[in-house]
A and B are shown apart, each in its own frame.
Chain A
């Protein structure tokens, strides 16, 4: 679970170690990554929106 989140975070940041990526692609199943990716995209939108709301006060 934590490994999936770490890998998705790395993908969001855009940088991942080649070894880790290889391992994810060879051993992981795609569905957890997709779910985590979609959820974290929503979290990102929420975070930016939160910052915008706080900044506008």
Chain B
């Protein structure tokens, strides 16, 4: 801590106050009940993270089925009907059950620690938010075993394919999304209440770590758009079961209305999955470059700008649906604008690296890969923003490549970076460095082998969501499938690292990374069940 004088907050509280006063808390119930009834932010955070890891593997298995079928031309393993269920379930599970809960888990664990709060503002609500999730996704997964099969209309569930032409299980799918949506909204309310009310004395908004900032903004996005999702699926429910015609042209409805509503939710949703990732990376890069984050204020502004603009770009998902010219132009311009704050973020990270003192621990490796590969996803996003060219890109593997670049080596890598970064705080042990490096390099190779050839397949003319393809796409798909198997298998290493780290390993001190700045590093490692019973006093760094 002493090696960087004058550039970091001075923490005026001792580990004794942080870990002490355990006797003031009643003993938790034992066994399963403890986890069912817990209101502790750390335990709930762990539950979220474990749930999301399990779902990551379930969604991953679906992806493996898809890639295995696409390994070569012709139908070998599954029928188109089941293939469509696999692509749909893969998308739904990864978005709603893996990436979002992982970020919520990290928020639960880290936001109270980073702002010096003893827990989340609404602990019982927190427990409820979590336990809604297993209910929602058990219901969703159970549709696979129902007559007619599970959802088979893509994770975007466009009407009327999902209404008039949907399988009988669609109603269960709607209920499960409703439950997951309620969970997200409650979680977001909790996070906002915590951040606005429970910061340590002396910590103002512009002193908060960026992970806290990005989650605050993400929470507002969640509260704004989750009700829109709830609305649109309720309209579907009415169309399917109660004879309305919101999306049925035969009854005077409009299928395109569905897409407007869905993407008004869907585009901010994309940023819900990436803004917290920005926060994690903004914590890790300064730590391992041993230099303060460049442009903290512009990072905050950029996050807010991205959040506002994310409400103005939804129809760029609909360029070929038959919008009027003015609408195409408006959404093209807004989409191009959003590249500016995103670019600012990347420039800030890189300038933070410039003239730093850089080392390459596992969290840093993942954060650096995030910067490079997310930027590649950003480039293809910029290309997709050009409306005339989007007439060629839309609904092809180019799009599949684009959003997997921002979501896998983007969001998922950031989550893994965060896990490696905070594991010492959670478990008191450093993750096994050798294994983590293997995990990193295999993941990087796997992810690029999987998704890079998809750019070419899409440009060459391969539509998305097809179980079988023309022969000229065979080579691209072969490479993608091999890459996917490699990436999928190497995630087992991740589980191994986490399990080993929980069970033992090199001991970590409170300040597990020598330059790490934020309040979480002032409590012991592993963090005791109750921290900050007495609020710490926060002081801004002196300039």
Q: How large is the interface on A (under 10, 10 to 19, 20 to 34, 35 or more residues)?
A: 10 to 19
In the complex, B298 has a CB within 8 A of chain A: yes
CB distance from B338 to the nearest CB of A (A): 12
Q: Is there an interface contact between B297 and A16, defined as CB atoms closer than 8 Å?
A: yes
Bitwise interface map of A from 23 to 55 toward B, beta carbon under 8 Å scored 1, else 0: 001000000000000000100010011011101
In the complex, B334 has a CB within 8 A of chain A: yes
CB distance from A8 to the nearest CB of B (A): 10
> Could you tell me the distance between the alpha carbons of A41 and B312 in the complex, rounded to whole angstroms?
11
Q: Is there an interface contact between B308 and A41, defined as CB atoms closer than 8 Å?
A: yes
Q: Is there an interface contact between B302 and A14, defined as CB atoms closer than 8 Å?
A: yes
The one of A12, A14, A48 that contacts B330, using a Cβ cutoff of 8 Å: A48
Given contacts A11-B304, A12-B305, contact A52 B326 (CB under 8 A): yes
The one of A18, A25, A45 that contacts B312, using a Cβ cutoff of 8 Å: A45
By beta carbon, the residue of chain B nearest A45 is B312
- Count of chain B residues with Cβ under 8 Å from any Cβ of A? 22
CB within 8 Å of A: which B294-312 residues: 297-298, 301-302, 304-305, 308, 312
Contacts of A55 in B (CB 8 A): 329
In the complex, B333 has a CB within 8 A of chain A: yes
Q: Is there an interface contact between A51 and B206, defined as CB atoms closer than 8 Å?
A: no
CB distance from B475 to the nearest CB of A (A): 41
Q: Is there an interface contact between B298 and A48, defined as CB atoms closer than 8 Å?
A: no
Contacts of A11 in B (CB 8 A): 301, 304
Given contacts A25-B204, A49-B330, A51-B333, contact A16 B325 (CB under 8 A): no
Contacts of B333 in A (CB 8 A): 48, 51-52
CB within 8 Å of A: which B340-382 residues: 340-341, 344
> Could you tell me the distance between the alpha carbons of A52 and B333 in the complex, rounded to whole angstroms?
8
Contacts of B460 in A (CB 8 A): none
CB within 8 Å of B: which A1-26 residues: 11-12, 14-16, 18, 21, 25
Q: Which of B205, B325, B330 has the most CB of A within 10 A?
A: B330
Q: Is there an interface contact between A16 and B298, defined as CB atoms closer than 8 Å?
A: yes
By beta carbon, the residue of chain B nearest A24 is B206
Contacts of A53 in B (CB 8 A): 326
Q: Is there an interface contact between A14 and B329, defined as CB atoms closer than 8 Å?
A: no
The 4 closest A-B pairs by CB, nearest first: A52-B329, A52-B330, A14-B301, A56-B325
CB-defined A-B contacts under 8 Å, sample of 11: A11-B301, A12-B305, A14-B298, A14-B302, A14-B344, A15-B301, A25-B205, A41-B308, A48-B337, A52-B330, A53-B326
